[in-house]
A and B are shown apart, each in its own frame.
Chain A
Amino acid sequence: MSLWTDPQTPANLRPVREPIASSRVVIIGGGVVGCAIFRRLAIAGLQPILVEAAADILDGASKGNSALLHTGFDAPENSIELACVQAGYREYMAIKHKLNLPLVESGALVVAWDEEQFAKLPAIVERAHRNGVTDVMQIERDELRKREPFLSDRALGAVLIPGEHIIDPWSAPLAYAHQGLAHGGRILRRCRVTGGELDGQRWMLQTTLGDIAADVVINAAGNYGDLVEAINRESPFTITPRKGQFVVFDKPASKLLHAIILPVPTERSKGIVACRTAFGNLLVGPTAEDQQDRSRAEVDQATLERLIAKGIEMIPGLADHSVNAIYAGLRPATQFKDYQIAVDRQRRWVTVGGIRSTGLTAALGIAQMVGRDFAEAFDGVRDEEPIWTPVPNLAEDRARPYLTEAGGDVVCHCELVTRSEIEAALAGPLPAGDLGGLKRRTRCMMGRCQGFYCSAQVFALAEGRLAS
């Protein structure tokens, strides 16, 4: 008999408050990783509960990333990260149509800007091949110019990674969450876990909404991962949030680029990327700045100016384009290079920590890994017939409601968001929890005017209707 499958109440149970909810498994953290695990375990029939401290899912590390689907070509060899990225990549490709998720097939180019970087290109190709990404190859300067005519002619050459692509960083995890809900999972927002005890066979988690009982707890708490881990054990890792600032240029700039432009990486970070977004903009970032604050990521004028200068250095034509948006994200860096994934069957606790910027891709792979472990441990866990829950399309390369809907009443003129899109985001099984959630679900107020024209109307529509 597995340790996991014996939820009988121990005899020495002391009287406790009645839990507000109980489940075989509770996932702490509604980021992309939490949502992907939630989906997987829900499909497996486990009826998981996902708890999120913020007013809406995707409010932490998953809020501000560069939205890339990675191949793992540059991941550390034989790492958990590599395995999860590649498994996640494959699953995304397999399910994207069913969930109506976009894929901008851009490819990526690691560009060498000086001789020293140029000399490192062959090693990048070799590692990619060792990582199983066999279509990666070095290309000459002329070929690079042909592919990216707007790139600065200072570029000496590049490594081409055909499989790296651009996705929608919010619709994907939202779709995972919706699918999990369709399979009987529950999501509790504004539910911050403050402590917990393993009482014999069962966890009782204290949260701001009340106690929640669970046979197994999964820590997917992102930037709070080490603090949540301390509920179970002294955390073997420490999170030092790494801030990344980004500049988003207005849509006309996107014609200056086809591929994702990556720098030759350093030990510390993947470096500053320039790429299009699924929404039709052009993005430059992130920086890599360590900080202590886990929730607040500030932008900084001097840094943003440097990012813009860096963008113009790579793509001189960017000088003629204006900035739409600025943002900063926090990625949960630890002292270790690899992800911190561990299963403690004895104590019924799963750790999924230190998931860095690759997490958007890796989430589905991580979820597979956690799901496999549950399947081994639980009797009779088997996948249900998947219920597909397609999400509304926000990507620019496919038709959006303003083009297809008769009576399409455009509220946000910059991003062409219709009234019915906003109405839909305020309804359904997981309505927007706050303004940020509404923006991520629809893109309203996220365009070049940043709400000059539409914010009052958006607020009037949303008044009293933001959930959680």
Chain B
Amino acid sequence: MTHKSDVLILGGGPAGLSCARALRGLGVHNAVLLERESALGGIPRHCGHVGFGLREFGRICSGPDYAKRLADQAAGTDLRLRMTALKLEPGGLVRTTGPNGPEDFQAKAVVLAFGARETPRSARLISGSRPFGVMNTGALQQFVYLHGKCPFQRPVVIGSELVAFSTLLTLRHVGIKPLAIIEENERITAREPGTWVARLGFGVPVLTRTRLIRIIGRDKVTGIEIDRGLGSEEMECDGVILTGKFRPETALIAPSHLEIDAGTRGPSIDPYFRCSDHNYFAAGNMLRGIETAGQCWREGRAVAEMVIAELENRLPAREPDAHVTLQGPLAYVYPQRIYRDAPDHPLLFKARVSRAVRGRLSVVVDGKVVWSRRISALPERRIAWRLPNRDMRSCQQVSVEVDAA
């Protein structure tokens, strides 16, 4: 038997839960949300430290508290836990397994909100042996906050994106001060690095321009080899925490019929958050890797509005008029699938550069520059801009270009 509903949301993190809540507010009463874990909340569930919820709840709360508030707000929706989606098929048909064994769900609109995860050691191709004690922040946080354990005493932290400082807070929770933060670039990646390090770094040395060369240890980590530009040196430690380099969780999308964008590594979407099959929408970090929980929460709401528009047949049913192409040092731009006559809806582009760049960012439609501005951008910062839809009256070719000065 196939369980049918108007909307099916896959993923119970900030994007999925805020979408569920917004849908109820907009009068959809038969949405179903499936979450594969045994609790709702997604990643914030195991970010035991504060730093969430200012935008959403007007106060700063801890990750688990935030996750609980999101879940409470989504109450009333048909929320099902321990449900693993296995396969996405055309027509909004989703095959799953869970406490009742295999089940099929089908919806007019399926919202994909699988989130993102950090790149593991394997995909980073890090040299050395493969002992226990090498893990991502996500795994560490589950050890610490969900199971009250810490797998090491003297780890090093690799990378300095914002999540690295979440790692520091996680370690402090169990009274552990890491030996160092190691960053291969010249400076720390997280915004306002001075503030972060001063406030949260607790005197942990930050080694910039330092490369992790090799992991040492047979059964457990006993050390690492690093290069600070002076040749290799060894550092004793008992754990390596690989932070950041988030990527969308596309395990179900890659083998499906949905188009994936090489830049974001998430599904290609149109301005209405629809994937290449209009029965599917995408929201949150699966669009492009990591942004804050607040950003995902906002996207969940925006997607809910678009789902309503789709259910009311207000969105174009045809194939998009153009696919965005990129020129210059751009890592990605989304949406990727563009319509000429976006009804009542300005085009909101989001992008990141692939390297630090000063120059001009332009949108070129059919050979004509329709919008441009000067930018000074870093790879880890989001760039966003709106394009009034009058600029898109005709469009066969849309390209986003960065001219480095």
Contacts and interface: CB of A to CB of B under 8 A. Distances in A.
Contact of B98 (A248, A324, A408, A413): A408
B130 A453 contact: no
A322 B214 CA distance: 21
B121 A450 contact: yes
**Pairs of residues from A and B, 6 with the lowest C-beta to C-beta distance, nearest first:** A456-B142, A450-B120, A406-B101, A252-B254, A456-B143, A452-B138
B209 interface: no
B138 A453 contact: yes
Given A299-B128, A408-B101, A456 B84 contact: no
B230 interface: no
25 contacts: A250-B251, A251-B255, A252-B254, A295-B218, A302-B127, A305-B125, A323-B125, A324-B122, A327-B130, A402-B86, A402-B97, A406-B100, A448-B251, A450-B120, A450-B121, A450-B136, A451-B139, A452-B117, A453-B117, A453-B142, A455-B135, A455-B143, A456-B142, A456-B147, A459-B151
Contacts of B147: 456-457, 459-460
B100 A410 contact: no
B126 interface: yes
B386 interface: no
A335 to B, nearest CB: 27
Interface string B89-131: 0000000011111100000000000000110111101111110
A296 interface: yes
Interface in A396-455: 402-410, 413-414, 416, 435, 448-453, 455
Contacts of A414: 251
A409 B127 contact: no
A298 B122 CA distance: 12
A196 to B, nearest CB: 26
A301 B149 CA distance: 31
Contacts of A457: 142, 146-147
B1 interface: no
Contact of B84 (A297, A410, A460): A410
Contacts of A435: 132
A403 B84 CA distance: 11
Interface of A: 248, 250-252, 255, 295-302, 304-305, 320, 322-327, 402-410, 413-414, 416, 435, 448-453, 455-457, 459-460
A267 B149 CA distance: 51
Interface of B: 36, 82, 84, 86, 97-102, 117-118, 120-123, 125-130, 132, 135-136, 138-139, 142-143, 146-147, 149, 151, 214, 218, 249, 251, 254-255, 262
Given A404-B101, A448-B251, 15 more contacts: A250-B254, A251-B255, A255-B255, A295-B218, A298-B128, A298-B214, A326-B130, A403-B86, A406-B100, A450-B136, A452-B136, A453-B138, A455-B143, A456-B142, A459-B147
A160 B212 CA distance: 44
Nearest to B114: A413
B139 A452 contact: yes
A452 B127 contact: no
Contact of A451 (B100, B120, B249, B262): B120
Nearest to A307: B125
Contacts of B121: 450
Q: Interface centre among A416, A448, A449, A460, by most B CB within 10 Å?
A: A449
Contacts of A296: 129, 218
Nearest to B95: A403
Given A296-B218, A452-B138, A409 B82 contact: yes
A53 B90 CA distance: 52
Given A323-B122, A451-B135, A252 B255 contact: yes
A295 B129 CA distance: 10
Q: Interface centre among B118, B126, B130, B249, by most A CB within 10 Å?
A: B130
A245 to B, nearest CB: 10
Given A416-B84, A456-B142, A304 B117 contact: no
A457 B143 CA distance: 8
Nearest to B98: A408
A326 B138 contact: no
A460 B142 CA distance: 11
A408 B135 CA distance: 27
A325 B136 contact: no
Contacts of B127: 298-302
B130 A299 contact: yes
Contact of A452 (B84, B118, B262): B118
Contact of B123 (A252, A295, A323, A416): A323
A323 B124 CA distance: 9
Contacts of A404: 101
B236 to A, nearest CB: 17
